[in-house]
Amino acid sequence: MASNLDLVHYIADQCSGAGDITTRKMFGDYAIYCDGKIFGLICDNNFYIKPTEAGRALLSNVELRPPYDGAKDYFYIAEVDDRDSLSALVRATCNALPAPKKPKK
């Protein structure tokens, strides 16, 4: 089941305090980026963030789930209504992730 575009826009807006948030449709669901760095997925109307120790430190309840069959576990983010907390989580996660790889020529 593909994610609802209104929910995708809402989650992107809620994360916007972390930087320039963009989304990209992939296989019926969405990847979500901050300043060009992918940090999460929105799959089947659920929000997932790549797991990092910095992100774990900010989560009061850590729940790991794969966003789709065969995927590695991500942090499952059930609460997307607290803009400040979500932005802080995205910022901490992105700071802990490596820079995006440059495409090969």
Find the farthest-apart pair of alpha carbons in the chain and give their distance in angstroms, rounded.
Answer: 43
pLDDT of residue 35: 93
Secondary structure (H, E, C), 18-35 = HCCEEEEEECCEEEEEEC
* Torsion angle in degrees (nearest 10) through CA of 7, 13, 18, 22: 70
DSSP single-letter state for residue 61 = S
**Per-residue pLDDT reduced to its tens digit, 63-105:** 999 999 999 999 999 999 999 999 999 999 999 998 877 778 7
> pLDDT value at position 83?
96
